[in-house]
Structure 1
Amino acid sequence: MRPMNRIVSVLIILGCAWSAIAATGSVPSRIEIKYRVSLGSMKIGEGSDVFQQDGKSYSVVSESKTAGLAAVVYQLNIRREAKGSVTANGLRPTSFVELRNGQMKRGANFDWSTSQVQLTDGETKQTVALPPNTWDSTSFAWNFVFVPPEGKDINLHLTDGRRVTEYRYSILGHEKLQTPLGEMDTLHVKKVQEEGDKRAFDVWLAVERHYLPVRIRYTEKDGTAFDSLAETINLTP
């Protein structure tokens, strides 16, 4: 994979994962998080998420873009918008769209009454089965706000508008982590790599900061690692 294509792919993947925070107690009505994406010591991207909820419905706006030298070579802005309802069992998505440089790229419309989801990938549209534990790639981790992670494994289905895929994540335990916001007690969560899956994905959730994902690491099959670190967090009660 060419270096710039690799950076674009990583921004897309990290953008999906940036949308995540878990909390105990009352859920803030608005949460804004800003991130820095790095390859080694070089900054290659920026991300920001805004999550809002009123106890009945929610919305997420997630944006990521190239920065620094990467932006000089190729300017890319990815915007994702997700909406849904807040239920007794957590978040239930109803719609998801992804835009790249202002142009519609992918989307999903969830019909829970018929257990079907309509997927849009460019000009291609299809309707497929909708398993009960399915989220769009922008909403899923925000579900931890209402259903904190428990046990050793997390099983779920995700869609980015192309397909619905099943994933399994393993909770590895607590780790002390140095971040731009200071040292934090974090919970390390890692994607379980099935046979043939050579790309790793790790996230560290800040235990004393509502389980906010303060570090996200995506590792390519050749070992190249991209890191995303939270730089600012703003909560509105």
Structure 2
Amino acid sequence: MPGKAEIRYTVFKGVNGFKVGRAAYIWQVIGDRYVLTSITEGTGLIALIQPGKLVQISQGHITALGLAPDDFWIQRGKPTPDKTAAAHFDYRQHTVTVGKMSNAITVPLLPGAQDILSVTFQLAMLAPFQDEQLLHVTTGKGLKPYTAHVVGDELLDTPLGQLRTLHLARNAEAGEDAIDVWLAQDYNYMPVKIRVDHSKFGIVEQVISSINVEH
């Protein structure tokens, strides 16, 4: 993985791809530590209907097995306690503390533990692979199994041109979202397209619009 990268995306909603916003991933490595930030916000009328940003931050260290998150924060809309959740990974006690500050719980730390932001970059660090990958992922609420299986190599048309990608998918389970990720083989397997089929909100896609990489 590069020392620093900034990936910008256009966000679309629905099967017809109605543009609703923009997103950015900012990845930085300092020594054996990483910081990953995601910022998503609406544009146009969506910004008026749903003001504010979705901000996610994951930070931790890099090991021989990939990313090992230490802390994760997610904030939806206004920066108030009821809109903010977090996860703290304690590798000595083998626990993860998740939830809002006023209502946090502690659960066992399971193998391959990631947060919902770091998991895509963890898959990028593991790629390429043939077999499915079983991880355990928190959104700041709990820690649940996350199985990513290989769909195959695909050529993807993007604003950057046609990219060679590895298509991964996580099938929908009870109450969970189906997620597809396309990792660019010529860009350190960084995510260039992410599609989430929300159980409540339908299909949301973010497609790369630009990338800036520093090694």
Q: Quick check: TM above 0.5?
A: yes
Task: Indicate the larger mover: 122-131 or 161-170.
Answer: 122-131
Contact map agreement 2:38 2:57 (CA 8 A) in 1: yes
Query: Given that residues 89 and 97 in structure 2 are in contact (C-alpha distance below 8 angstroms), is that contact kept between their aligned partners in structure 1?
Result: yes
Number of residues of Structure 1 aligned to a counterpart in Structure 2: 210
> Could you tell me which residue of structure 2 aligns to residue 103 of structure 1?
80
**Residue equivalent to 2:211:** 233
% identity of equivalent residues: 30
Query: Which one scores higher on RCO, CA 8 angstroms, separation ≥ 6?
Result: 1
What root-mean-square deviation, in Å, do the aligned CA atoms of Structure 1 and Structure 2 show? 2.0
Rounded to whole Å, the distance in 2 between the matches of 1:203 and 1:176 is 13
* 8 Å contact from structure 2 (residues 98, 104) kept in 1: yes
| SS of aligned partner of 2:126 | coil
| Alignment correspondent of 2:52 | 76
Looking at structure 2, the residues matched to 114 and 220 of structure 1 have their Cα atoms a distance apart, in angstroms, of 34
Deviation at 1:173, TM superposition (A): 0.6
Equivalent-residue separation in structure 2 for 1:223 and 1:32 (angstroms): 27
Matches within 5 A, 1:1-237: 27-39=1-13, 40-100=16-76, 101-104=78-81, 105-121=84-100, 123-194=102-173, 196=174, 199-220=177-198, 224-237=202-215
Q: List runs of 5+ in structure 2 lacking aligned partners.
A: none
**Judging changes above 3 Å, is the alpha-carbon distance between structure 1 residues 69 and 207 closer, same or farther for their aligned structure 2 residues?**
same
Post-superposition shift, 1:74? 1.9
Please report how far the alpha carbon of residue 193 of structure 1 lies from its aligned counterpart in structure 2 after TM superposition: 3.1
2:24 is matched by which residue type in structure 1?
A: S
Cα gap change, 1:52/1:217 in structure 2, threshold over 3 Å: closer, same or farther? same
Which consecutive segments of 4 or more residues in structure 1 shift more than 4 A? 220-224
Distance 1:117 1:223 in 2: 28
User: 2-side partners of 1:118 and 1:219: how far apart?
Assistant: 27
Taking the aligned partners of 2:80 and 2:61, their CA distance within structure 1 comes to: 26
Structure 1 residue runs of 5 or longer lacking an equivalent are 1-26
Structure ranking higher in strand proportion? 2
Q: 1:220 to 1:80 in 2, by over 3 A?
A: closer
SS at match of 2:111: coil
Q: Distance in 2 between matches of 1:222 and 1:28?
A: 35
SS at match of 2:135: strand
Aligned partner letter, 2:53? N
Q: Match of 1:143, SS?
A: helix
Q: TM-score, normalised by structure 1?
A: 0.81
